[in-house]
Structure 1
Amino acid sequence: MTQPSVTHWDSPRADAEPPRRRRWTLRSRLVLGIVALLAAASIVVGLVSVVALRGFLMDRLDDQLLAATGRTQPTSEELPPGGALGYPSRPSFGVQGPGTMVALTSGDVARAGVLTSDGTLDLLDDAHAAVLIGITEGDGPVTVDLGGELGEYRVVARELAPGILQVTGLSQSEVNGTVAQLLLVIGVVALVALAAAAAAGLVVVRLALRPLDRVAATAAQVSELPLDRGEVALAVRVSDDDADPSTEVGRVGAAINRMLGHVASALAARQASENKVRRFVADASHELRTPLASIRGYAELTRRGGYELPDDVVRSIGRVESEAVRMTSLVEDLLLLARLDEGRDLERAPLELVGLLADAVGDAHAAGPDHEWSLEAPEGPVIVNGDVNRLHQVVANLLANARVHTPEGTAVVVELSERADGVDIVVRDDGPGIPEKLLPELFERFVRGDSSRSRVAGSTGLGLAIVRAVVEGHGGTVSVASEPGRTEFRVTLPR
């Protein structure tokens, strides 16, 4: 029997996306490329210089070694009969410089000494001299390590007698020291040069990419324009200097200018289409008001005329009247939105908000007595400049929205607070909340909180659109935040 799999919420998911690596900027990559090329060139130049100098110094040392070999003359005391080797003596060195090494080897026996700086001989022990065993006359100058303080020696052998070799050597310490000093100088100079090149490259690249920064700034400026609605004058363009097709950045700038031209044409066409639709809606709404008023009036006249009509006819006339009322409200809302889009239908005058909110809350209590309504406002008057009827409609729409979309017993609080540059009106309820996917488009036209089209729960979806249009017409903002158990609409108005 298989065990059910258990998912641990704190364990990493197998299909979780790995963290994205931070990408390098173009400026950083260019500077790094410049420094890398200079570093590679410095390494190549340094290696070639060191190899060439070391070869030159070794050739010179070999010439000196061959000359020193000819000046070495072992004495008969150093080569006794019977092949028993003695140690080199001072006369055998001839005219040599300090550090010259002379050795005699025969089979597996080696005797060696080094001329010191004070002219005396420093005889090597058998262990150090043993490294010279095996060097033959045909080997030419070779390098051996005598160990200890002596270090590396360049040595060459010549045959003095059958089975007996003389090995002469010169120290490589001067050559090695010169090469090491050159390496140090090259390294220090290369590091300083790379640091200077990085700083200079950063400045040069920054200057070279300045046109690209200006192109990016133009694109960023366009991205901040409100292109989603309204009439947009898209006059922002990349300058002619940065749109020269003969340069790489100029080609990018020219392409952006062409794209902005196409976008401006599309926005103009869209705005023209929207204007036509708005004019049609305004004209149609205006023309529909009169026939709707006539239908409503005749239906009401028939209902109140005292005629003996069948019940089904009375019910039908009542439905005609109620539908005419609903249609009239829809037409009025459409006409109001059309006028607000044109910047009309708003009056500006000082008004007192506390009384306006108190009246709106009272009306909401009468329309929804099964909800709990409350108002929190400052003691004194709060004065703003605006249209009293439209602001009353804003609050009424928000309260109606809370009443329609929350169950009985929901507490709805209207809060008024003052700020230095304006006032905040908050309508808050403890209802079930608004679906998260609906929040981004909640203030769009014809957006409903549910898909119902019933006359009780459904709506046309224009209430919150009117709220936003009126608030923005006053120079303010409206926002919503919602979660289960708390929904808050916040209207901010300037003074």
Structure 2
Amino acid sequence: METPGRRRRLRWWPRSLYWRLALGFLAITTIGVAAADVYAARALAEGLRNRLDQQLASIRQDRLDELESSSDLEPAGATAVVLLTDAIGRVVQRESGAMVERAVIRLSGADLDRMATTGRAGAVGPAPMRAVVEKLPDGGYLVVAESTADDAATVHNLVVIEAVSGVPLIAGVVLGALYFSRRTISPLKEITATARRFAAEGAPSQRVSAPVSTAEVEALADAFNAMLGRVDEEFNRRRKAEEQLRDFVGAASHELRTPLTAIGGYAQLVRFGALDDPARLDDAMRRVQNETRRMSVLVDELLLLARLDQGRPLECRPVDLAELCADAVADTRVTAPDRPVTLVVEPGPHVVTGDPDRLRQVVTNLLANVVAHTAHDVPAEVRVGREGDEQIVDVIDGGPGIPEELRERVFERFFRAGGGPARPALRDDHPAPGSGLGLSIVAAIAAAHSGSVRVEASESGAWFRVRLPALTGA
């Protein structure tokens, strides 16, 4: 958890990703350039010091060779000083180059002894000099020193050059960082703008169309567009579901109102004594009974659709489609004796897993659809076959067929090709048309069994094809 003190310490740090990237580039570049400059300066100083130490060692060896042959010292170089001292550091003889004639070197006896013991070159003062010391056999010391002013000037010039060139380099890197940061951030700004438009307008059909600059931004844009796509699909699905629910409630209310109106009308006739004739009263009661039965069937169908929509589990056991279709065809021949109905079963087993009562209702409803919408002498055919891992049930009639523009809508609830609601039967030999739920029940039952039903293209008549997963190993 972030503490108030930590928030105060980080308040100076910008919240904008753009400026954070720019400041990050600036900090990294500055540290990198400064580290490189320091390293270069130190490396140059170390190299010059090593070279100077080699020169001092060479001069010392030359002077030792001279002292072995004679007691006089040769003149030193322009920047070198050669001294002969006694045991306590007093200068006995000095040879100085032209550029260091006035250079002062102060070394005590202890300093001379220490430097002679180590044999390594070291800085001496007060002048900017570096010297090596060699102890002589007579107890004195040979001191060879050389000025480090030129080397220091060289290092100083390098530092100046690095400083002068480093500032434009850092400025160029920062400008480049700002440019590329802006290009990198621009798709994120487009995503943010799209999200704000979506939040303000509620239009999930919008998509991010900013140019993609990096793989990460591309992945973010794709994920954001995919999310908007899912939201768009869910929005459309919910809107469609709400529209279907409104249509469903309106149609169900209309369907129930029709028999209820008829029942209420006959009840008022009885109440006001308009049906004093026993024959008329018996006919009215028969009509009330028919309307009650039709309303009961409608309610049962609605309850069945509600159960199927809720995904309630159905009975699950092996079902022989050939036997089931044979029973449905036999029932149709009894209820419609004038209609020629044939059954064609391809060789082989036709077993699926499911609820036998509901699967039988599928075939029964399809045959009832043929009976309700075609003439009494129009032939019908039921075929049972198999395609791959699916069992096929075809119900085909020789009627006028279904127009192509209505083939996808026939499975909608309360949909009728005529477009109007069901009307009550006026006479017993003219039954009322169906409620418009038969084919929607067929589609719901097929979907509950992981299958499907659709209207196939046919040159004549209507062709319904039901596909169900075949039972493996049947």
Common fold by TM > 0.5: no
Of structures 1 and 2, the one with the larger relative CO (CA 8 A, separation 6+) is 2
Rg (Cα) greater in structure: 2
- TM-score of the superposed pair, with normalisation by structure 1: 0.42
Q: TM-score, normalised by structure 2?
A: 0.44
